[in-house]
Structure 1
Amino acid sequence: MEAHKKNLLILHLTVFVWGFTGVLGKVISIDAVPMVWYRVFIASITLFAWFQLTKTSIRITQKQFLQFFFTGGIVAIHWIFFFHAIKISTVSVTLVCLSSFTLFTAILEPLIKRQPIQAGDILVGLLIILGIYMIFKFEGHYTLGIIFGILAAVASSLFGTINSTLVQKTEPSIISFYELVGALFWTTLYRIYDGSLLSMHFNLSTSDWFYLIILGTFCTSVAYVAGVSVMKTLSAFQVALITNLEPVYGIILAFIFFQNNEQMTTGFYAGAVIVLAAIFLYPIYKKWRNKI
């Protein structure tokens, strides 16, 4: 029982750290693409050091490597869209839009796994669409940020669905490492193409380096390893329910750090409540459906 309580606390802290990612995305001064490049570079090194320290074998087959490597490209796109949405709108708007990944997962997962789409999934999806529509209506000046936030959600649901299949055969931490390496490769390739990497001098401010190291280590590598470890004693339902607190923690943190810049219209909060209520009800509905 003590281990169960300990892992519940660890999971809450992990989700809190994930919620803090949005705040870091706002305070780091560089654009989304170089930010993601630094993030995956630091996270890859950190995870590799972790494997060396724990003497964990990272050997995989060529087929697995290619699967993880190309999925890493989707992870990179997700993070680039996520941070770009934050840069051109607010943390709160981006996090609520990102929560719509539940809707896209409900659509993509049955298609990829060739399963029937459930009526309850459609209902939850309609609630999320209603909430996002209200945000569009009352926060029209953040239209581009909302679009990129939704695109980030689509990418998140896509690689999440792919990983739900891959994780059946490989340790999640190994998958994460090779996906980070893949994300680093594809981001590097893009930065060579646009010329930004060739002209980079690594002359970031002290604060940017500090926040990037936190983002790459604690918010990516450490949080991921911690998030995986708690699954030994917690049910998938508990993990899903607590993970849904990420946008709540993120919005609260954003309001604390940025205050007036994160104040929205009443319509936004009404839409946000609908979206968050839908994603909280979704795992409860899924658990109930599985019992039938």
Structure 2
Amino acid sequence: MQPVSAADHRKGLLSLHGAILLFGGTALFSQLISLTALDITIIRCFVAAITLLMLLQLRHERIRLSSWRDYGLALLLGLLMASHWVTYFAGMQYAGVAIGVIALYTYPLMTVLIEPLLHRQLPPPMDALMGFIGLFGLWLIAGNTGTEQHPHILTGVFTGVLSALLFTARNLLYKYKFAHCSGAQAMFYQTLIGGFVLVAWLSDDWQHIGALDWTYLLLLGSVFTALSHAFFTTSLRYLKAKTVGLISCLHPVYSTALAVLVLAEVPTWRTVAGGALVLSAAAYETLHGHKRALR
């Protein structure tokens, strides 16, 4: 891969932070939309795919892929994304939302440890340390929940970690095999394939929801899914996957801040302390990763 310029690296960072901020907002819709998490995900996939298709046409970008190999990679990326979402929701069903989220957020550490191996290198010690610090901060945030109320914690954690592994594989596959496609083009195929893969599990509840729920679903699918994932995949074109993984630890911090503003949910000291650790790790990777990119 060719080294990126300072302008491209800055574009990657801006795209990533915009994506993570929008990701943080998706948690609000779980309380605003009167559907199950799986139904919401399936509908948002199709809304996102339609939105991305319109975006590609509006920008006169190519929709068709260049080769059958690219279609095969798009299918694999879509399967990884769909499997990631299914196991993510299963983890939350088994162990609760907080434990499911913290299990998922083992993926930054997985990325830090796995990506250098693709180049036959060992992970830099400071990157591994930042990964551990970020994960410890996330553990503090998740510690606010009453986990003793959930009888299937180990199953939920295992399923959540599997979800993290699938997400890591998806990010690395895009980074090293599919980055020649634009973020919008790549996410169009992933959301479309993901929607078709998951549609078999769609319940009939969506037929009975009101106009407000549909408004939230359209907003979730277009802005908070299509736009956010286009930003996210764009960042993978210009940043190392480990940098993306570490900075993505800001997701629960942004979610907490938005919950305070929108839902008036004031964080506990554990959330504040964990958020400080996560912010520290992400800030270190942002600053030092940018310096390394310029060398």
TM range (shorter): 0.7 to 0.9
Give me the TM-score of the superposition, normalised by structure 1. Answer: 0.74
Residues 228/112 of structure 1: CA separation in 2 closer, same or farther (3 Å cut): closer
* Aligned sequence identity (%): 24
Asked whether the 8 Å contact 1:16–1:249 carries over to 2, the reply is yes
Residues 231/291 of structure 1: CA separation in 2 closer, same or farther (3 Å cut): closer
Q: CA deviation at 1:211?
A: 1.0
Q: Out of 279, 283, 286, which is 1:283 matched to?
A: 286
Q: CA deviation at 1:263?
A: 3.9
- Between the aligned partners of 1:17 and 1:138, the Cα distance in structure 2 is 23
1:120 has 2:126 as partner: yes
Structure 1: which 5+ residue stretches go unaligned? none
Asked whether the 8 Å contact 1:95–1:251 carries over to 2, the reply is no
What code does the residue aligned with 2:81 have?
V
- Between the aligned partners of 1:129 and 1:225, the Cα distance in structure 2 is 25
1:49 has 2:54 as partner: yes
1:155-194 equivalent positions in 2, closer than 5 A: 155-189=166-200, 191=201
Structure-1 residue corresponding to 2:35: 30
Structure-2 residue corresponding to 1:64: 70
Structure-1 residue corresponding to 2:215: 210
3-state SS in 1 of match to 2:264: helix
Moved more, 281-290 or 49-58: 281-290
1:222-233 equivalent positions in 2, closer than 5 A: 222-225=227-230
Q: CA deviation at 1:14?
A: 5.0
- Between the aligned partners of 1:210 and 1:270, the Cα distance in structure 2 is 35
3-state SS in 2 of match to 1:102: helix
- Between the aligned partners of 1:223 and 1:104, the Cα distance in structure 2 is 22
Structure-1 residue corresponding to 2:79: 73
Asked whether the 8 Å contact 2:70–2:178 carries over to 1, the reply is no
- Between the aligned partners of 2:256 and 2:89, the Cα distance in structure 1 is 15
- Between the aligned partners of 1:206 and 1:252, the Cα distance in structure 2 is 28
1:105-144 equivalent positions in 2, closer than 5 A: 105-112=111-118, 114-135=120-141, 139-141=145-147, 144=153
Cα root mean square deviation, aligned: 4.0
Aligned length: 277
Q: CA deviation at 1:140?
A: 4.6
Q: Deviations over 1:138-164 (max 9, x none)?
A: 645277598366554443322111111
- Between the aligned partners of 1:107 and 1:63, the Cα distance in structure 2 is 28
- Between the aligned partners of 1:271 and 1:65, the Cα distance in structure 2 is 41
- Between the aligned partners of 1:236 and 1:176, the Cα distance in structure 2 is 17
Asked whether the 8 Å contact 2:183–2:234 carries over to 1, the reply is no
Give me the TM-score of the superposition, normalised by structure 2. Answer: 0.73
What code does the residue aligned with 2:283 have?
F
